[in-house]
Amino acid sequence: MRIILVAVPGSGKTTIMGYVRKKVPDVQIVNFGDVMLEISKKKYGITNRDEMRKKIPVEEYRKVQEEAAEYIASLPGDVLVDTHASIKMMGGYYPGLPDRVVSKLKPDAIVLIEYDSKDILERRKGDPTRFRDQETEEEIEMHQMANRYYAFAAANAAECMVHIINFRGRPQSRPFEHAEIAADFIANLILSARKLK
């Protein structure tokens, strides 16, 4: 099974992946941005993930994106892809899963996670290792809305399911609760597909 996990930057996708791995140890977890970085390091001298959306011309960016999709599509077994429905660049939204890319990836499901934008802002402050763009709550909410539309468009091209986990208005009762709930959902998707085999 191939599952694509999307959520705005700084929302904790990588943390969710860690919890999924605890429940399904043999799942392959791949970060689309890391694969793109490996490709663009060689070609464009990029040194970190947050430089790509600023330093690679858009026609080249498309090629890197497509090469990353081809590599990920070649991975065997159950694969979980950490990526974006849209990437905010130059004040607009660029598709992370355009038809050309998603038809290579051939996902069985796209899981979209949404949060209160206040929580996203807090989490971004807590990650000094990244060069995230400074955004307001309104801007984050707009990006989350754009991601819904982009996720639906991608699912249409891929002929796959979209699952939306909406944590808005559901504050955590303990740290990492949201990540664990999301991970349980994803682990169940994988394990129930295995049972059907």
Half-sphere exposure of 96 (CA within 13 A, CB side): 31
**Among 3, 30, 36, 39, interactor with ligand AMP by CB under 6 A:** 36
Residue 132 CB, shortest distance to ligand AMP, in Å, is 8
Q: Does 143 bind ligand AMP (CB under 6 A)?
A: no
The angle that helices 32-44 and 58-73 make with each other, rounded to 10 degrees, is 130
Residue 65 sits in the site that holds ligand AMP (CB under 6 A): yes
Q: Is 49 in the site for ligand AMP (CB under 6 A)?
A: yes
The number of helices, as runs of H, and strands, as runs of E, in the chain is 8, 7
C-beta separation of 145 from 93 below 8 A: no
Tokens 């400074």 belong to: 134
For residue 134, the 8-state DSSP code is P
If one asks whether residue 4 binds ligand AMP (CB under 6 A), the answer comes out as no
Letters for 2-21 (x = contact with Mg ion by CB under 5 A, - = none) are: -----------xx-------
Note the residues at the interface with Mg ion (CB under 5 A): 13-14
